[in-house]
Amino acid sequence: MAEENKKGGFWASLFGRNKKQDEPKIEPIIEEEKITEEKIKDIEPSIEKFETHDLVEEEKIQEISTALEPVALELVEEIIEAKNLEDDLQPVVEIETREKPSEGGFFSRLVKGLLKTKQNIGAGFRSFFLGKKIDDELFEELEEQLLIADIGVPTTSKIIKNLTEHASRKELQDAELLYQQLKVEMADILEPVAQPLEIDSTKKPCVILMVGVNGVGKTTTIGKLARKFQSEGKSVMLAAGDTFRAAAVEQLQVWGERNHIPVVSQSTGSDSASVIFDAMQSAAARNIDILIADTAGRLQNKNNLMDELKKIVRVMKKYDETAPHEIMLTLDAGTGQNAISQAKLFNEAVGLTGISLTKLDGTAKGGVIFAIAESV
């Protein structure tokens, strides 16, 4: 019993100590709960203040928005009116934009393109004579202007000589009269060779062979000539004789497709003479009026290439002794005096019947045509 009491006392004392140790732990919790409740009570008035402040702010915002509503409505109405006005003006702007291309047709663009050349040779000389007296200085300046226009030394010397004699004989004092005489002198140079391209209707097909150096515009000229003849009511066929240059055949085919003109062609690298011969047979079978044959560009000083051109002419004559009926040399107006060499050597090789002067819509003078008319 004593031991049980001791045990009981021990366990009792143990549990008793635990109770004593646990009791203080509970008290702070209760105190904390009390403190928390007290803090909440203290915070509640401040929360009410904030809520009241928020309500006041909301009321102010509502008052401001109510005051701004008329202003906003006026702004919206102004924006809508501006938008409606813009919508009303838009069709007018579109109509004006669409009408602009119609103001300049084909001939208007052509005149604008040739304006620079006209200024270099025509209007440029006219302004040169204004307000000047006829003397040696005037003739020297005129000679310089003619040389700048690519007319060439021999032709320029001839023109200056004739003008000097005319001025002395007529005792001219007015430079304007000298300008009129200059136009007469230049027209006299071109008159003997200024012959229009006329198609012989008795020849079917009438064959036009295009020749020239590289890059002068032979294929493009063919497309323009084809369109011109087609507009005159003639049937046209094209022969892709330039089998050397890459995409030359395709370029001519595009011109044919645009104008609904048949094109006779073979693969790149084929014999040019055979292509043109086949085209002549096809044109005769279809009763075509005009056959225009393209050729590869070649330098006039390459004998082997010029011999190839002679071969093309010989093959054409095997089918028709009178063919080709026209041999057109295409010249770049910006070439200068080298065009004289081209005209001479091509004429010696195949016998030229005409010249096409291209690229006059740039800064080119084109005056070399006077030198060619004098020398070839």
Provide the β-strand partners of residue 291: 207, 237
Could you identify the residue written with the tokens 């008329």? 70
105 in a known ligand binding site: no
Instruction: Count Cβ atoms below 10 Å from residue 371 Cβ, excluding itself.
Output: 22
At 237, give phi and psi (nearest 5°).
Answer: -135, 150
Lookup: tokens for 58: 């909301």
18 in a known ligand binding site: no
Under 8 Å between Cβ of 303 and 296? no
256 in a known ligand binding site: no
17 in a known ligand binding site: no
Identity (one letter) of the amino acid at 172?
A: L
213 in a known ligand binding site: yes
113 in a known ligand binding site: no
360 in a known ligand binding site: yes
296 in a known ligand binding site: yes
Question: What distance, in Å, lies between the first and last C-alpha atoms of the chain?
Answer: 158
Under 8 Å between Cβ of 221 and 252? no
359 in a known ligand binding site: yes
214 in a known ligand binding site: yes
Under 8 Å between Cβ of 313 and 324? yes
298 in a known ligand binding site: yes
5 in a known ligand binding site: no
330 in a known ligand binding site: no
- State how far the Cα of 288 lies from the Cα of 234, in Å rounded to an integer: 8
- Per-residue b or e along 334-358, where b marks 16 or more CB atoms closer than 10 Å to that residue's CB: bbeeebbebbebbbebbebbebbbb
217 in a known ligand binding site: yes
- Report the C-alpha dihedral over residues 177, 182, 188, 189, rounded to 10 degrees: 180
- What is the bridge-based pairing of β-strands 206-211 and 290-293? parallel
66 in a known ligand binding site: no
200 in a known ligand binding site: no
At 284, give phi and psi (nearest 5°).
Answer: -65, -40
Lookup: tokens for 202: 């008795």
Among the listed residues 222, 266, 220, 262, the one whose alpha carbon sits nearest the alpha carbon of residue 244? 266
361 in a known ligand binding site: yes
Among the listed residues 315, 337, 333, the one whose alpha carbon sits nearest the alpha carbon of residue 271? 315
Bind-site residues for GTP: 212-219, 294-298, 358-361
Bind-site residues: 212-219, 294-298, 358-361
